[in-house]
Structure 1
Amino acid sequence: MLPESVRDAVESGDPLPGTTGFAGELPDGRLARDVLGRELLYTDSGTWSHDPDDLADPTLFPAGHVGTPDDHERVWRLPDSTIDGGVDALRDALEAAFDALSARDGDGDVAVAFSGGVDSALVVDAVDAPLHVVGFPDSADIAAAKESASLLGRDVTAHELAIEDVEAAVPDVARAIGRTNAMDVSIALPLFLVAERADADCLLLGQGADELFGGYAKVEKAETDPRTDADTVRGARDEVLATLPDQLERDVRAVRATDTEPVTPLLHDAVVREALRLPDDLLVADGTRKRALRAVAAERLPDPIAYREKKAVQYGSLVARELDRLARQAGFKRRMDDHVTKYVESVV
């Protein structure tokens, strides 16, 4: 049964009632799923589960909806962006998120997926847990994780990959996430591999910061970038944020396939609410993305970490490069349309 805070949120319409996501059954038998889809919920013939493998023909219950499997409506939407926030309010929101994280009980062994950047470093600063990174020996993620861990006075376990590791994981990951397209598989692979190697009950992730705080090039260049319909930084950020439920389904399923529970403290409701209140110049300005988040981080972390620029995980780990190599070795040449997807489909 969903907690009382969620039940109150149904009545009030508050999309951010102070959680890190929820999905399940209300006392009246209706189902509910949080506005960002941070928790998964599937239905089939009047039954429901958090795990699609429990159901014969699972259908994902939409984020922000309340109702029955066959009759539901959108109750929650993210608040409209306003321009009345700042670094101080964001600092308080992050403190609330980390307090909630430290108050968790009964999670068993906890580890942090640490790639050396500001997002995962903020999580590291809030917990005393082992740090893990995966990547190929010459990858930027392993180099960054080792450098940042040293600056923090922490140890990090670097799990160096071989191409055989990726080859073996591809079919498992594609089946776990229910997708075979090259981009989704290349993103899910390092999450699956780090969760598998960390071998913890709970894996803390820095997921969501790029979407909330303007971490993408297309947000920075919104006025001219054809990848966004918006022509302002905040408008482009809001577009990117709307893609989060789809991304989180992939990421959660990839991590849970290793019997590990993912936790995303930077997606706490308090942090989401304050991110939506930031003006353009606290998202991106003067060539610096995620400015507000970095400003808070600089109070906690050494500047080389707070202001480190990083590649997306599939590139920083070099998993995307090696996935492309596997496809070509299997005869799927780059001149073919979407050759990596064709390779993934051939091995699932």
Structure 2
Amino acid sequence: MIRQIAHRGPDALAVARLPNAPVVMAHCRLSIIGTEDGAQPIHQTDDILVVNGEIYNHEDLRAILGDSAFETASDSETILHLFRSGASRWISKLDGMFAFVLATRDRIIAARDPLGIKPLYMARLGEGVAFASELKAFDGVPVTSVEFIPPGGLYDTRDGWRQWYRTPHGAAEAEEGLDVEHTAKELRLVLEEAVAKWMVADVEVGSFLSGGLDSSIIAAIAQKVRQETGRGPLRTFAVGLEGAPDLAAARAVAEHIGSNHREWVFTADDLAEALPHVIYHLESADVDLVRSAIPTLFAARLAREDVKAVLTGEGADELFAGYTYHHGYVDDPRALADELTRSLGTMHNINLQRVDRITMSESLEARTPFLDRELIDFAQSIPAELKLRKTDPATVESTGPTTEKWILRKACADLLPTDLVWRKKAQFDEGSGTVEALQVALRKLLGTDRPVDREQEAALYERILREQFIDADRILENAGSWTDERVAV
């Protein structure tokens, strides 16, 4: 099982057994924090632990729990000592992105971060249970009833299931007297804190830079953090076809913020060659997920040449109403707030699955500061009518009759060139040129000169997936797919 997901951590691979208990754990490590002594599984007395992800408040927790109790510099060890503290809601003190399995001689606990940034699956294995970060770990293993641990969920063999975190419901209309200027300023401060927190590492952290609003905001703030802490320029990475809008926009942003920027130009042939890799690691044949995963792969490969971790802009669209279909809610702030809350809860098997699987296929850790817990709480308290706003096209603070992510743009307007801050959004696969080049690649793979329709594209992706797995039906049954209402709105 661990060899099938060894790409997630090439720095070390270890297997450990808990004495006098039917527990075996394995871990493949990508060393980011505690690089010298943070090996896993972490085995202390009668407890054993494996963790995927990062605990960003681990230093604060160490101070509270007592540093003398720790045997390593690893952030992951914090989980073990919090559990041992006996507090009833100990897991809620963890701030970060994580999935873990902890076992004692008579108990197993498995849990996942609030929005499911890091994956975790559970399956039945005979009379016992098996856990893994990816579905492919179970391929060829005689497990049954595979399911994901839900975001913000905890499974305990002693006490059963718990939902330890619930996404706060979004506000709709502004209360009378709400100071919009102060709200924007506070959002900026919360966002800056989130980016600084999510840059904590013992290795260099870079940033994806598509040239769009979200990744540009993250990169601009990250560059400020590096300057304020006396480090060199931020490394930023962009990909696209020759002449793609994303490449030009990313170049302009990089020059504006002063980052150390690299870009890679891909071709239709590169797309055709990458498809089997993308579909295997994505663990889904969903057309929209596959399309968006391709440029993510190329960006990950480029970044991994220089860094082990990157910041990304995922989550801004769900928090601040950034998708085109959100415009259909402009006259109903309550419905928009409800939709944003709903979509946050589905990210784990859509965009977050894409980002995690594809970056980790290249042994690169992707970090999503927009999904910081404190930022989620604050963003959900901002009225939806400030996120999607009817604006006067004659003013600078506008992208047209309706402006998505209005409050986010306002909060970060001084960070970036005005034309970027207020321009319309383009999807990553559109701005990078993937959609057009993919049509060329699909025709080549299918041996046809005719346009390939969506149905043919979906059938090809499923065929490619089935060719790579022993039990492809299990993968497809549990696969992430873009199955919400947004296409119909």
Q: Report the TM-score when normalising by structure 2.
A: 0.63
Q: Of 190, 201, 210, which residue of structure 2 is paired with 1:115?
A: 210
Match of 2:462 in 1: 345
What is the aligned partner in structure 2 of residue 297 from structure 1?
Answer: 412
Same amino acid, percent of matched pairs: 24
Q: Give structure 1 stretches of 5+ with no counterpart.
A: none
Residue in structure 2 matched with residue 105 of structure 1 by the alignment: 201
What's the CA shift for 1:289? 1.0
SS in 2 for 1:180: coil
Letter in 2 for 1:120: S
Equivalent runs, 1:301-312 vs 2, <5 Å:
301-312=416-427
- Describe the shift of the 1:163–1:75 C-alpha distance in structure 2 as closer, same or farther (beyond 3 A): same
Q: Which residue of 1 aligns with 2:360?
A: 256
Q: Distance in 1 between matches of 2:120 and 2:157?
A: 10
Q: Which structure exhibits the higher relative contact order, with contacts defined as CA atoms closer than 8 Å and separated by 6 or more residues?
A: 1
Q: Which residue of 2 aligns with 1:212?
A: 319
1:62-77 equivalences under 5 Å are: 62-68=150-156, 71-77=160-166
CA distance in 1, matches of 2:331, 2:385: 17
Q: Distance in 1 between matches of 2:217 and 2:461?
A: 34
The one of 20, 36, 47 aligned to 2:96: 20
Distance change >3 Å, CA 11–CA 314, structure 1 → 2: farther
Cα distance, 1:6–1:209 mapped onto 2, change above 3 Å: farther
* Pairwise CA distance, 1:280: 2.2
8 Å CA contact 1:224–1:231 kept in 2: the answer is no
Quote the Cα distance in structure 2 between the aligned partners of 1:26 and 1:87: 41
Report 1:1-348 matches (<5 A).
Answer: 1=49, 3=78, 11-12=88-89, 19-26=95-102, 29-44=108-123, 45=125, 46-55=129-138, 56=141, 57=143, 59-68=147-156, 71-82=160-171, 86-102=183-199, 104-106=200-202, 108-125=203-220, 126-127=222-223, 128-199=233-304, 200-222=307-329, 232-247=335-350, 248-285=352-389, 286=391, 287-329=402-444, 330-331=446-447, 334=451, 338-348=455-465
Higher strand share: 2
Report the CA distance shift for 1:337/1:118 in structure 2 as closer, same or farther (over 3 A).
closer
Deviation at 1:190, TM superposition (A): 0.8
Equivalent position of 2:53 in the other structure: none
Structure with greater Cα Rg: 2
How far residue 272 of structure 1 moved from its aligned partner, in angstroms, is 0.8
Contact 2:167–2:341, Cα closer than 8 Å, also in 1 = no
2:61 equivalent in structure 1: none
What is the root-mean-square deviation in Å for CA atoms of aligned residues? Answer: 3.0
Q: Is the 8 A contact 2:121 2:131 kept in 1?
A: yes
Range that drifts further, 286-295 or 323-332: 323-332
Change (3 A) 1:323 1:346: farther
Secondary structure at the counterpart of residue 96 of structure 2: coil
Structure 2 CA distance for aligned equivalents of residues 18 and 144 of structure 1 = 37
The amino acid of 2:166's aligned partner reads R
Any gaps of 5 or more consecutive residues in structure 2? Answer: 1-48, 50-75, 224-232, 392-401, 466-489
Measured against aligned partners, the alpha-carbon deviations of 1:278-314 in whole angstroms (never above 9, x if no partner) come to 1123201122111121112113333233223231111
User: Is the alpha carbon distance of 1:337 and 1:302 closer, same or farther for their aligned partners in structure 2, counting shifts above 3 Å?
Assistant: closer
Which amino acid in 1 is paired with 2:374?
A
What SS does structure 2 have at the residue aligned with 1:111?
strand
Please say which of residues 277-286 and 305-314 is displaced more in the overlay.
305-314
Q: Deviations over 1:166-185 (max 9, x none)?
A: 11110001000111121110
For the 8 Å contact 1:173–1:189, the answer to whether it is kept is yes
> In 2, Cα distance between the equivalents of 1:139 and 1:289?
23
